[in-house]
Structure 1
Amino acid sequence: MAEITYRRTGELLRQLFKILMSSPDGMFGRDAIKQLEGSVSLSPYEAGDYPSGGRRFDRIVRFATVDCSKAGWLVKEKGRWSITEDGRKAYSDFTDGEDFYRKARKLYQAWEKNKSGYPSESSFTGEPASQPTELEDSAVEQSADVTFEAADEQARLEIEQFLHSMPPFEFQHLVADLLRAMDYHVEWVSPPGKDGGIDVLAYSDPLGTKPPRIKVQVKRVLQKVDINGLKSFAAVLDDEDIGLFVSAGGFTKDAEEYARSHAKRRITLIDLQRLVELWIRFYDKLAEVARRRFPLTPIYFLTPQD
């Protein structure tokens, strides 16, 4: 008989939490599961595949994280997983794997009963007459949450890899394409070489006679842009300019704070996630050459029911 026990599942979850807690910015779920696999020994059953497709180990872990997410211990945002303060506390309080997972299941049941956000300790009373020791294998295999989550995460990861591998000059033109689709008038895109801190210049009118002038700096690097990089960009902005800083690697927290507090010279930060969201939003208005530069196709899945 197939065994997916509460104890084993809880032990895997605690090890997963340990991995995620060492990554403050979170990790893609598939990367966290891969790290988890490297730190534990899989049983022959876990290492096998379900008849309907998908490896059992991956689906068991993803299925169990649904409970942790509804318990408020784990946040899943745009494919990335990160542990909340409540999750850190639970990891500290429930050192036994089975106790850890049973608590998450209990809080999930409270969430399901209320459907009004994260559950509180008082929102669930009583215990079932008999507590199961194993998860239902069929529920794990057929979970719509797991199927949707894995597909969404895979798509996001492939998009990130595609954009990170794009030549820097091509990436600049992609940003210019997006601005045109948003009805801005792109005056200039910097050729390869030194650019003086400006990669794209755009206006809100065809002749460029009306303020503001939009100055754009584009970084296709993996590293986060820090506050010094943002200050250098701010130095090339005049009083009536608006700055857009596009960074594939994102921004450090001090850079984000600097942009928020920079009232006189307005700066908008665009990381890779926001760039992709805008690209999808304005996809129908993109020129054909722009779509060929970064082609996307929507695929529909059955939405998991909360």
Structure 2
Amino acid sequence: MSKSKSQQIAEKTIFAAFKILKEAGGEMRGRDVVDKIRATVTFDEYESHRFERTGYIRWESIMHFYTIDCMKAGFLRKNKGIWILTDEGEKAIKLGAEKLLTTATKLYREWDGKRKKETIEGDIENFTEDDSDQVQQSLLNQYEDEAFNGIRKFIVSKNPYEFQDLVAGLLKAMGYHISDVAQRGPDGGIDIIAYTDPLGTRQPRIIVQVKHRPNDSVSSDEVQKLAGTLKRNTDVGIFVTSGSFSKPAVKEARESREHIELIDFNRFTTLWQEYYPKMDDEQKNLLPLHPIYFLGSND
């Protein structure tokens, strides 16, 4: 039986995404994966067609649709806009583009317990009723990716002192009392000092280091330097970055004698969303959000 155009598109885009993730060390922002596919894979006019109703590109929509198969097959995970290639997914690359996709689809069918069509003709807007849940999930994934990309672009556009203000605003919303926020110039490794009471008479004293480097990973040496600023036995260190932490940095924080919490971009945005309802208007305006609720599932 001949392959549908959708399957052909899915095979080459899913396979390309897996290879890109592997080359990146196993994880990457979904938007960056899509951008890299766009730059390295050739698409014809049909594949590049933009749907009028959703505004999405055909090949992107089809790829997102089939990532659901890959996720249910255990080949791929998604978390806050980050795509993560599992060990099983890395092994599946050896199957080649065609068999990788058919294996993922077969495993998805077993998980779903429903009969899915062998081939899917047309575009993502014309899938069968049996596929409606998967279409909905793929669209929600795209909306979620776009939402996180919007938040990320907003934060990236800030200068280091504006990002520092964002961190201070979050800590205030979490119930901490800000004693000091570093001004321009050398800060000795301390950007924010906070307490759990207004006068700072109760322990612990919270020492915060803030790094606005959205495209970089914080090193273990930088975590060690934060630990060196904790002069009191009861001090707690918090390292906040708009980027990520290297694996050695995470290990350093975990094994440090001092209590050090790490907050990367994903954790920061999660905390901002969680405490957003408790913020005053001034705090909200630092990173304004607009919640929208979609019908979900129990999967």
TM-score normalized by the length of structure 2: 0.89
Work out the percentage of aligned pairs sharing the same amino acid.
Answer: 36
Distance 2:22 2:113 in 1: 29
Whether the aligned pair in 1 keeps the contact of 2:9 and 2:62 (CA below 8 Å) is: no
Structure number with greater CO (CA < 8 Å, separation at least 6) is: 1
1:57 paired residue number:
59
Distance 1:133 1:294 in 2: 44
Question: After TM superposition, which residue ranges in structure 1, 4 or more long, deviate above 6 angstroms?
Answer: none
Whether the aligned pair in 1 keeps the contact of 2:230 and 2:237 (CA below 8 Å) is: yes
* 2:187 match: secondary structure: coil
Letter in 2 for 1:109: R
Alignment of 1:90-105 (within 5 A): 90-92=92-94, 94-95=95-96, 97-105=97-105
Distance 1:9 1:272, change over 3 A: closer
Whether the aligned pair in 1 keeps the contact of 2:4 and 2:120 (CA below 8 Å) is: yes
Deviations 1:181-227 (A, max 9, x none): 11111111111111111111111122211211111111112321101
Letter in 2 for 1:218: V
Whether the aligned pair in 1 keeps the contact of 2:240 and 2:263 (CA below 8 Å) is: yes
Q: Per-residue deviation at 1:16? A: 2.1
Over the aligned positions, Cα root-mean-square deviation in angstroms equals: 2.3
Matched, 1:226 2:227: no
Out of 72, 80, 83, the residue aligned to residue 81 of structure 1 is 83
Distance 1:203 1:133 in 2: 60
Distance 1:135 1:65 in 2: 17
Distance 1:133 1:293 in 2: 48
Out of 220, 235, 246, the residue aligned to residue 252 of structure 1 is 246
Distance 1:245 1:5 in 2: 45
Distance 1:292 1:7, change over 3 A: closer
* 1:44 match: secondary structure: coil
Distance 1:277 1:12, change over 3 A: closer
Larger radius of gyration: 1
Distance 1:240 1:147 in 2: 47
**Contiguous gaps of at least 5 residues in structure 1:** 115-127
1:119 paired residue number:
none
Whether the aligned pair in 2 keeps the contact of 1:73 and 1:88 (CA below 8 Å) is: yes
Distance 1:8 1:153 in 2: 21
Deviations 1:115-170 (A, max 9, x none): xxxxxxxxxxxxx8x98344564128961112111111011011112112212112
Distance 1:303 1:252, change over 3 A: same
Q: Per-residue deviation at 1:51? A: 4.3
Matched, 1:139 2:124: no
Distance 1:72 1:40 in 2: 25
1:117 paired residue number:
none
Compare 97-106 and 54-63 and name the one that shifted more: 97-106
Letter in 2 for 1:182: M
Matched, 1:191 2:192: no
1:121 paired residue number:
none
Q: Per-residue deviation at 1:49? A: 2.5
1:9 paired residue number:
10
Distance 1:46 1:204, change over 3 A: same
Whether the aligned pair in 2 keeps the contact of 1:144 and 1:304 (CA below 8 Å) is: no
Letter in 2 for 1:22: E
**Contiguous gaps of at least 5 residues in structure 2:** none
Distance 2:34 2:226 in 1: 38
Distance 1:8 1:149 in 2: 19
Distance 1:38 1:168, change over 3 A: closer
1:287 paired residue number:
280
2:144 paired residue number:
152
Distance 1:133 1:151 in 2: 25
Whether the aligned pair in 2 keeps the contact of 1:144 and 1:302 (CA below 8 Å) is: no
Aligned length: 288
